[in-house]
Chain A
Amino acid sequence: MNGNAFSFSQLGTLIRGSAVYRSIVRHGTAETNRNRSLVIFENLFLHVHPVKVREKTLKFSHTYWLGGITVSALVVLIATGILLMFYYHPSVPQAYRDMKELKFVVDNGVFYRNLHRWAAHLMVLGALLHMGRVFYHRAYRPPRQFNWVIGVVLLLVTLLLSYTGYLLPWDQLAFWGVSVGTNMAKEAPILGPPLRFLMLGGNIVSENALLRFYVLHCVLLPAALLGFLGVHIWRVRKDGGVQGPPEPPADDEVEP
């Protein structure tokens, strides 16, 4: 490389100065606090965050990043889930054959299925641990009461997502795992049997159930999850940021 060649930093400056780039990102580089603020509130997705956060909330022991880990698992699940959908037919017996295709024919198919599986376990585990963390830090107290309730809803939707996905491979594990669960639903008085019929599209776990679980798993439940998740994260900001461990009362403060 001679001195006249473009360096990457020069290339970056050129791109960031171009009319096209400035039409997409209106603010300059994040070298000033003003521009760092603009990074957050000029971005549809980032502006669920406030522009500034309390420094102590960044400490690992404040949240153990459990919410972040759960959301990260969700992002992995959406990405791998979409890839898996390209190869999957929600019909009997093609659904099971597709699992074999993923394993023996599709490039990296088994890797993406594995990723999806372990990310699903991580998301359930992460949500449970996050809930425990919030409880023991007493972060459900006013003004965060309702966000705790939304969190309970998110946990239930997460469990339903995991459960509906459990049927999709259409192997023995899937079929009997779902049969055990839906037989329990049958026991609920009055509402149980009709709910089960609605869920399965019949009286047993069959091809109809597979299609219904597929639609629930790929459309309805993810949409519900993303909706509630948006509110959940937005309310964290509205309720004053993440709440860490309760602090011991200051010297000049008296416990009422």
Chain B
Amino acid sequence: MSQPMPPLKVVESSDPVAVPKRVALVRPDARATLRRVEERWVMTYPNLILREVICFQVVVIVLAVLALLFNAPLEGIANPLETPNPSKAPWYFLGLQELLHYFPPVVAGVVFPGLVVVALVVIPYAKINLSARPLWSGDKARTRLWVGGAAAFLAAFFALFACWPIVVPTLLIGAAMFSVYGDGQEGRLRRFLVSVTLPEWIMTWFILVATVLTLIGTFFRGPGWSLVWPWNMYPPA
């Protein structure tokens, strides 16, 4: 790239033989960038390989310390005649088990997890995820209608089932979305909130709901799936 580029002459043609230099057509949802910045490249060995080895060693050391300090749980031998109360699934399913408390099993155990998996799979194929526009950067009235409507509908739907662990995060995220709807005092937090895109808001909502449900199921549910404080839990979570 030491020689200066000759001036470009624009010729319109669809014949690639006559006009070998082409102008790319860029769809608005595929962000094509032309950068003149030279990127620095380094050899994979040793730069990356060494880091991978270090990562592995750190993981092994941390796990070994954990394994020395904390024993894996082991209760009495399995007894189909003696149901522990409460009986809990592994922690990563406790969010779903918590949902069982509010919804019929087919909804909590099949419909919701099915929807989550489908939603995760279609993320990279949904147009809404490909545009990186901040939430309020487009037609504000339209966005307000759809986003406000969706949040209100979700909150009302889950309130109908008295599923407050979902209603509260839904209202919180909705409030956060609308907190940057109008003008306000310019600040760091506001600048960040303004830049958040719709898919990011939705994912944040999902993660918040999943975390709240999992925490409640793990630490706040005792006999008969009643609400208890973690320090009153027996057997301990």
Binding site for B on A (CB under 8 A): 30, 33, 36-37, 39-40, 46, 49-56, 58, 65, 68-69, 72-73, 75-76, 92-93, 96, 99, 103, 110-119, 121-122, 124, 128, 131-132, 135-136, 138, 140-142, 144-146, 148-149, 152, 156, 159, 162-163, 166, 169-177, 179-181, 183-189, 192, 204-205, 246, 249-250, 252-253, 255-256
Produce 1/0 per residue, B99-135, CB < 8 A to A: 0100011101110000001001101110001101000
Asked whether, in the complex, the Cβ of A250 is within 8 Å of the Cβ of B42, the reply is: no
Chain B nearest CB from A49 CB (Å) reads: 5
In Å, the complex CA distance between A110 and B72 comes to 8
Which residues 49-103 of B sit at the A interface, judged by CB distance below 8 A? 49, 51-52, 55-56, 59-60, 63-64, 66-68, 70-80, 82-84, 87-93, 96-97, 100
Determine whether the beta carbon of A187 is less than 8 Å from that of B109.
yes
Minimum CB distance partner of A172 in chain B: B75
Whose C-beta in chain B lies nearest to the C-beta of A92?
B78
Contact pattern, B 32-46, Cβ under 8 Å of A = 1, otherwise 0: 111111011111111
A residues in contact with B228, CB < 8 Å: none
A117 and B72 contacting across the interface, CB-CB below 8 Å: yes
The distance in angstroms between the C-alpha atoms of A60 and B80, with both chains bound, is 48
Known: A30-B46, A119-B63, A159-B92. A140 touches B33 (CB 8 A): no
B26 within 8 A of A: yes
Bin the interface of chain B by size: 35 or more
- Residues of A contacting B91 with CB < 8 Å? 121
Contact A56 B39 (CB under 8 A): yes
Say yes or no: A115-B64 contact (C-beta < 8 A), given A53-B41, A144-B124, A253-B35. Answer: yes
| B32 CB → nearest A CB, Å | 8
- The residues of B that contact A113 with a CB separation of less than 8 Å are 72
B60 touching A76, Cβ below 8 Å: yes
